[in-house]
Amino acid sequence: MRAVGLVTEYNPFHNGHIYHIEQARKITNADVVVAVMSGNFTQRGEPTILDKWQRTQAALQNGVDLVVELPIFMAVQPAHRFAAGALELLNDLQVSDVVFGAEHPLWDFANFVEAEKHFSQRGFEKFNATYATQFNQQLSSLTGHSLTDPNDILAFSYYKAKLKNKYSIHLHPINRLGSQYHDQTIKGTIASASAIREAVSKHETIDQVVPKQTADLLEKIKCVPGWEQLYPLLRNFLIQTPLEHLQQIYQMAEGLEHRYREAAERELTFSGFIRRVKTKRYTYSRLLRVCLYTVMEITNDQVSQASTHPYLHVLGFNEQGREYLHQIKKSVQYPLLTKISQSEHDGLVNLDYRAGKLYQMFTGVEQDVKHAPVILKKTN
């Protein structure tokens, strides 16, 4: 069986994702669609609007055959690490192709990777600009292009990971339809996930842009999960924890612990906190990720240890996905998990288990221990 891989968050699953799945099958003629999906927190470090089991169910009901979780130490990362982690798992899952959306699918992303080898390190010495800004200044001078759109940045990162690791996977960028990634308005039948989340928070209709399964789940949401709800935990930890311990938090670098402590002492709301912490040196995405690492007390050592022990946590499958799992299970390199035991949540999957416990604050629903995969059976 030939498999095509997708890298997803499905936050939430919408009509644009259905188009993505359909195009992936059409372009590759694959027998199986395998989605590697972020768990309960996004690449930016924000809680997802629906939990990973609900999003898995929606994916299986709309064309995906197998869903595998992208562990938090891979998922909540800047684009290059997020893409590298996803491609690493898809490579182990033995997919032959990966199809992904891009704002400029005709660009030669492999050439951009080659151009990066000629960057000057002196071009990254400014402390009043983000790394992305300095990166694009050099890329533009060499190629005439800048990577400013989120999916173009990920596309570049997929090519970089493939070339670095010599994966045989074929990469297929396709054009994104409808709204741009951060568009906050809903027009037509395809809208950005950001616009859908905004509409849900305002109790506006979204039926035209999501499948019925997603619409039914979102209709039940009384409050969209977000950092305002988690801020009391974050604020208390930042105020109470000694600075030398804060320095051990993953990515809490270059004196950020001082900025975070000061902002927590002064601000009673998360919106006020994140504005006070923000500088030209760091993007909001970077700062949000550090917030999540902090409230979960994720240290540099923990991420380093977890990164050396990847695994394949199966969230769900249909009959085609089950058949594919049976085909590859003896040849995958990483542990293949379908249920999380006590020993596993204390060890191998500890960071995801802790993320699930944090997310449980929003839903009251256990996210990992003894949770069986979602199984979609054929209906007559």
For residue range 21-80, list pLDDT tens digits in order: 999 999 999 999 999 999 999 999 999 999 999 999 999 999 999 999 999 999 999 999
**Other residues' Cβ atoms within 10 Å of the Cβ of residue 210:** 28
**Judgement on whether residues 213 and 325 belong to the same structural domain of the protein:** yes
For residue range 253-273, list pLDDT tens digits in order: 889 999 999 999 999 999 999
**Judgement on whether residues 139 and 233 belong to the same structural domain of the protein:** no
Domain count, the chain: 3
Query: CATH no. for residue 208?
Result: 3.40.50.620
Q: Which of 304, 336, 356 is a domain's end point?
A: 304
Annotated binding site: 7-20, 101, 151, 176
**Judgement on whether residues 179 and 217 belong to the same structural domain of the protein:** yes
H helices, E strands: number in the chain? 18, 8
Map residue 57 onto helix, strand or coil. Answer: helix
For residue range 187-206, list pLDDT tens digits in order: 789 999 999 999 999 989 99
**pLDDT level of residue 178 (50, 70, 90 thresholds):** low
Are 293 and 251 contacting, i.e. CB atoms less than 8 angstroms apart? Answer: yes
For residue range 117-150, list pLDDT tens digits in order: 888 776 666 767 777 788 888 888 888 888 889 9
**Judgement on whether residues 242 and 358 belong to the same structural domain of the protein:** no
User: What distance in Å separates the CA atoms of residue 359 and residue 46, rounded to the nearest whole number?
Assistant: 10
Integer angstrom CA distances of residue 20 from 62, 174, 293: 11, 8, 31
**Judgement on whether residues 262 and 298 belong to the same structural domain of the protein:** yes
Q: Which of 262, 286, 304 is a domain's end point?
A: 304
**Other residues' Cβ atoms within 10 Å of the Cβ of residue 369:** 15
User: What distance in Å separates the CA atoms of residue 186 and residue 14, rounded to the nearest whole number?
Assistant: 12
Residue reference for tokens 């999003």:
55
Report the DSSP pairing between strands 312-318 and 66-70: antiparallel
Q: Is the pLDDT of residue 342 over 80?
A: no
**Judgement on whether residues 190 and 298 belong to the same structural domain of the protein:** no
Give the per-residue pLDDT at 138: 86
Q: In the numeric block, which tokens belong to residue 11? A: 């936050």
* Residue 176 amino acid letter: R
* Residue 354 amino acid letter: R
User: What distance in Å separates the CA atoms of residue 83 and residue 241, rounded to the nearest whole number?
Assistant: 33
Are 46 and 17 contacting, i.e. CB atoms less than 8 angstroms apart? Answer: no
DSSP per position, 171-214:
EEEEEPPSS-TT-----TT---HHHHHHHHHTT---TTTS-HHH
Give the per-residue pLDDT at 321: 98
Are 234 and 226 contacting, i.e. CB atoms less than 8 angstroms apart? Answer: no
Q: In the numeric block, which tokens belong to residue 360? A: 């449980």
**Judgement on whether residues 178 and 143 belong to the same structural domain of the protein:** no
**Judgement on whether residues 115 and 263 belong to the same structural domain of the protein:** no
Q: Which of 118, 133, 148 is a domain's end point?
A: 148
For the chain, give the percent of residues with pLDDT over 70.
96
Are 19 and 50 contacting, i.e. CB atoms less than 8 angstroms apart? Answer: no
| Nearest residue to 44 (alpha-carbon basis) of 226, 310, 308, 174 | 226
DSSP per position, 214-257:
HHHHHHT-SS---HHHHHHHHHHHHHHS-HHHHTTBTT--TTHH
**Judgement on whether residues 91 and 197 belong to the same structural domain of the protein:** yes
Integer angstrom CA distances of residue 33 from 25, 85, 151, 325, 371: 7, 18, 20, 12, 23
**Judgement on whether residues 64 and 87 belong to the same structural domain of the protein:** yes
Task: Kindly state the helix (H) or strand (E) to which residue 354 belongs, with its residue range.
Answer: helix 350-363
Are 319 and 327 contacting, i.e. CB atoms less than 8 angstroms apart? Answer: no
Give the per-residue pLDDT at 180: 54
**Judgement on whether residues 131 and 273 belong to the same structural domain of the protein:** no
- Tell me how long the chain is: 380
Mean pLDDT of 81-98: 98
**Judgement on whether residues 344 and 287 belong to the same structural domain of the protein:** no
Q: Which domain holds residue 135?
A: 109-148
Are 364 and 358 contacting, i.e. CB atoms less than 8 angstroms apart? Answer: no
User: What distance in Å separates the CA atoms of residue 335 and residue 23, rounded to the nearest whole number?
Assistant: 30
Give the per-residue pLDDT at 314: 97
| Nearest residue to 376 (alpha-carbon basis) of 329, 321, 312 | 321
Residue reference for tokens 């249909």:
318
Work out the angle at residue 329's Cα, subtended by the Cα atoms of residues 324 and 335, and round it to the nearest 5 degrees.
130
For residue range 205-253, list pLDDT tens digits in order: 999 999 999 999 999 998 899 999 999 999 999 999 999 999 999 999 8
Annotated binding site for ATP: 7-20, 101, 151, 176
As a whole number, the mean pLDDT across the chain is: 92
